[in-house]
């Protein structure tokens, strides 16, 4: 039985960065309409950079003064390291749109005691994020929840240190309860290299221990045509 996420959005006439940036801008506006503020956790890796750049340039009316920015995961590196998810977000989005510095809540991956860093971050992470952005790795990981990881069975801690099979080897990550509690979740993926893992996640057996990104099947999956090309049914 295919796993049916809330919806798959494949935009053949728009770029994925624009489609994803539009969804994020709309989601921020909706959260602010309801509560006057918005908490969004950003995803890391390479894919988001283009999305964040589009968000910064094509959606300049986003009221960032009402937005608090968090992160779904971070590498255990300093914040100015080329591998830092914070650095990528700062360069592509946070600096260009002038998010107030006290509204940016980065994970302190540089700390020697990652468990203490995780516990400190958990204390400032909202009980329920308004928006959680996620990516999908070649092995089906999301955030820094990797296949078979102990964190996949975590029901209490909301942030944990993690080991990664991909460099950098140590991470901080949100855990399944954070994904479950988030009001809006989006998985953003582009490129033919993601087609196989997207197909496994959306149309294969349900097994989040093997495919942690399946924890986000209740969310919106924002895919370009290439990443969706392995699916049996691609929306027109
Ligand atoms: C990270 C991300 C990770 C990422 C996927 C996809 O810190 O690397 O949080 O989960 O979203 O690995 O990465 P790409 O967008 O680079 O393919």
- Per-residue model confidence as pLDDT tens for the chain (236 residues): 456 766 666 766 779 999 999 999 999 999 999 999 999 999 999 999 999 999 999 999 999 999 999 999 999 999 999 999 999 999 999 999 999 999 999 999 999 999 999 999 999 999 999 999 999 999 999 999 999 999 999 999 999 999 999 999 999 999 999 999 999 999 999 999 999 999 999 999 999 999 999 999 999 999 999 999 999 877 65
Distance in Å, CA 144 to ligand 1 centroid: 8
Distance CA 223, CA 233 (A): 13
Distance in Å, CA 135 to ligand 1 centroid: 5
- Partners of 7 in the beta sheet? 220
DSSP state of 213: G
Quick check: CB of 84 below 6 Å from ligand 1? no
Distance CA 108, CA 91 (A): 17
- pTM for the model stands at 0.96
Q: Spell out the residues 6+ positions from residue 203 whose beta carbon is closer than 8 angstroms to its own.
A: 2, 3, 231, 232
Tokens of 32: 């602010």
Q: Which of 20, 42, 45 to mutate to test the pocket of ligand 1 (most atoms within 8 A of CB)?
A: 45
> What is the DSSP code string of 36-97?
S-EEEEEP-SSHHHHHHHHHHHH-TT--GGGEEEEESEEESS-TTSTT-HHHHHIIIIITTT
How long, in residues, is the chain?
Answer: 236
Helix, strand and coil in the chain, % to nearest 5: 35, 20, 45
Chain centroid, CA 173 distance in Å: 11
Quick check: CB of 143 below 6 Å from ligand 1? yes
Residue among 72, 76, 83, 161 nearest 110 (CA): 76
Distance CA 70, CA 43 (A): 9
Which atom of ligand 1 is least distant from the CA of 43? 9
| Phi, psi at 41, each rounded to 5° | -105, 125
Q: Sign of the C-alpha dihedral, residues 103, 88, 19, 96? A: positive
Tokens of 51: 């999305």
**Residue 1: per-residue pLDDT:** 44
């Amino acid at each position: 039985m295919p796993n049916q996420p809330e919806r798959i959005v494949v935009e053949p006439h728009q770029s994925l960065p624009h489609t994803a940036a539009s969804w994020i801008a709309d989601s921020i506006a909706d959260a602010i309409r309801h509560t006057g503020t918005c908490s969004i956790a950003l995803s890391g890796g390479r894919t988001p950079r283009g999305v964040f750049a589009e968000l910064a340039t094509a959606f300049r009316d986003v009221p960032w003064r009402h937005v608090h920015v968090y992160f779904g995961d971070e590498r255990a590196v300093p914040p100015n390291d080329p591998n830092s998810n914070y650095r990528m977000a700062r360069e592509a989005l946070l600096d260009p749109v002038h998010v107030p510095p006290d509204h940016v809540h980065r994970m302190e991956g540089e700390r020697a005691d990652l468990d203490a860093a995780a516990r400190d971050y958990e204390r400032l992470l909202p009980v329920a994020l308004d928006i959680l952005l996620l990516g999908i790795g070649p092995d089906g990981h999301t955030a820094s929840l990797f296949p078979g990881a102990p964190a996949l069975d975590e029901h209490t801690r909301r942030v944990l240190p993690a080991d990664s099979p991909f460099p950098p080897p140590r991470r901080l990550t949100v855990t399944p309860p954070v994904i479950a509690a988030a009001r809006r979740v989006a998985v953003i993926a582009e490129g033919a290299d993601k087609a196989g893992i997207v197909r496994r996640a959306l149309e294969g057996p349900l097994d989040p221990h093997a495919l942690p990104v399946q924890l986000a099947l209740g969310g919106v999956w924002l895919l370009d045509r290439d990443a969706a090309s392995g699916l049996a049914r691609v929306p027109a």
